[in-house]
Structure 1
């Protein structure tokens, strides 16, 4: 599981950074990719990345401001031309369905794959045998949501030596045991999963927030997460400006990370007043003064999601 930032700027793109889009690569876990927000130019960023639209399975939109969704119509229209013919699910606040339907209808765009648009107002919005995705309302000028992605615990490793002693060779029996099914061997012995499986591997948690001021739902969404992605639009000297525009400072992002007990904080959504990476260093220093495991997101860089320590 890895995070890949396609856009880290707030409001408008700059020569240095594009507007918001974050990919969660889950190739090992389910051979797919999920996208969180899709600002203008996102598909161009994908072309310059190792990401493949053919692997795109789900898109989650945090809110309906243009710097978070104006890239959607183009990406949806051209996805099939890049090998993306599998079904795609799109989640977002109320209004996302009308935006997509009108954009595609007026442009007479043809989509030759199954597109399902799901509007939500928080709560558990997706669950299968591998992942749960929860959402909650934040504090922005319009309804903006954060997403908590929880990977369910995975089966432990098979004890290959013990299986060998029972004469079990690699094949379908391995799969059944990994799925928690008991199997009967040729000699009539029933082998149970707990006899040959190690301890379960704890699932990881990623929290990705939309634009927000400090809000009651931030810490519950982030509590215990291995990685928290939080906007840090301004230095704390502009805290009043941040409040006025319903955004957060690097200090406020770090305070949320510390209170929630996360493993790492990755800050994004930077004001265009901070141009080069060097100009983001003061934000990083402010955050690390409160929460040492803080990072500023760099575009076209992979961030592995590792289980937090302690």
Structure 2
């Protein structure tokens, strides 16, 4: 039952030795780790630089309020995903194994798969909503607001696109769709809790107005965002599928990876793993 559940969420135990999240079709594992590390550094530098700017411009309250915004939560997610992916990739590059994920319960692989699905869909949603709905021309005259908004509402999608193109990841499992929708519903709860406790709406299109006279408009926006995330999921899934097809599902492995030397090693490793799983199941019965 556990194995079937894991497969449903894209964490099939029989595919662990492919190391899809720690490898690339183009870069060596250590080079991929370097790209992810630089992205991590940029994202967290951006976050703390913006916070520093808030603090130095008598706007310290904005630091705490930032945790109520979907943009910020998504940006934090991007940062922590790249940090986590960097650690996993470095360890794999040095040992040829998924050092941490091999030790942890299967649920952590499932969470990693779902985490990847969020950071390759939500950033595009943030970018589209900001520039299509929230942004008001003309563009920022001051350098800092312009840079911070481009970083969080433009480069965020670039980071997501790089994670779609460079790694050897497989297409998202379909079970990621209800998870993405559920996370969006949770965020709507956060937004209205923020209004109830702090007195402001994080996004103007969530404001139902006096006596709820704009509630229909709010409902329309929410359904529009629901449709958008479904489309973005399909686009992300399709791009990953296309990349796998165009690259022939090629994977550049670490020097110590047992499967580095050819498909024969993969077949042998698969047979050994399957035999081990059968023995465990038999002993459990």
TM over 0.5: no
Q: TM-score, normalised by structure 1?
A: 0.24
Flag the structure with more relative contact order, 1 or 2, with Cα contacts below 8 A and sequence separation at least 6: 2
Q: More strand by proportion, 1 or 2?
A: 1
